[in-house]
Amino acid sequence: MSEHDPYGTMHATTIITVRKGDQVVMAGDGQVSLGQTVMKANARKVRRIGTNKDGGNEVIAGFAGATADAFTLLERLEAKLEQYPGQLMRASVELAKDWRTDRYLRRLEAMMLVADPTITLALTGNGDVLEPEHGTMAIGSGGNYAYAAARALMDTDKSAEEIARRAMEIAGDICVYTNGNIIVESMESTAS
């Protein structure tokens, strides 16, 4: 804790996405920590957003970072998806432009993973819109642990969901800011 941050730093989470075969999965834990205290154990940091022509949700989004900041970004992404329906890449690039250039948005401290049936992306406040090279990507305090575990499991016969769940378990065993309350969202993938 510092004089500028008297309550300690809010530590985020672990979010992972795995795209394998005909499935894309996103998983996240539920822990929200303030300093050395677990403030909440069952937060929902992975959710479906956007609406397709059939009325279903077309995008899975997961966030790490300050919760209010992440919800602001989720709302902005939903607005971009309404503006560019069915175009997750375009909506993400437009959000990244706004995030980087808008004085208010630049101060937001969060990262997002987003996926639709065809593409998975990581969005950052630096203007990054990144697509995974190996079918998996992870963010948050335990992201590197989950990513390494998922990469190691990608060549096995495990499904995308099994890989994501196991990677989250491993991250939860290593990262003190990640717990075992795992939320999983999945959809059929058209990209392999």
Active site residues per annotation = 13
Phi, psi of 179 (to 5 degrees): -115, -175
Q: CA separation (Å) from 33 to 40, 41, 56, 181?
A: 7, 9, 32, 14
Query: SS3 letters for 13-39?
Result: CEEEEEEECCEEEEEECCCEEECCEEE
Instruction: Quote the tokens at residue 121.
Output: 């992306």
The angle formed by the CA atoms of residues 96, 8 and 36, to the nearest 5 degrees, is 110
Pairing of strands 10-11, 32-34: antiparallel
SS3 6: coil
Report the distance separating Cα 21 and Cα 75, nearest Å: 30
Which one-letter DSSP state was computed for residue 2?
B
Supply 48's token pair.
């479906």
